[in-house]
Amino acid sequence: AQSVTQLGSHVSVSEGALVLLRCNYSSSVPPYLFWYVQYPNQGLQLLLKYTTGATLVKGINGFEAEFKKSETSFHLTKPSAHMSDAAEYFCAVNLSGGYQKVTFGIGTKLQVIP
């Protein structure tokens, strides 16, 4: 079975501060891991993904995430928050790719304070 836990349903940061959104996963086989972003009343957009290879993954809009197998984590970071980063972020896991269903976390709403 696979599962995803996102710690903190709401996170607030000041503009220019570090963004850290936490995600831990449970998987019995090597997982594929994803972060998606959702703006109000819109669909989800893929930020970045880890499949195999390099454990530090860079995505769009200056975000990156590091796959840490020993910690079963895939935390999302950005060095300096921008007002446009305010959105909801979802971590997701898929077992070994393919068509197997993806399991999503409950989401973390990021608020950026001017």
Place of tokens 């594929």: 32
Task: Rule CB under 8 A: choose which of 28, 54, 98, 114 binds other proteins.
Answer: 98
**Does 97 contact other proteins by CB under 8 A?**
yes
Within residues 25-64, the interface with other proteins by CB under 8 A covers 32, 34, 36, 41-46, 49, 51
Query: For residues 68 and 56, is the Cβ–Cβ distance under 8 A?
Result: no
Binding residues for other proteins, rule CB under 8 A, total: 24
To the nearest whole angstrom, how small is the minimum distance from the Cβ of residue 77 to other proteins?
19
**Does 7 contact other proteins by CB under 8 A?**
no
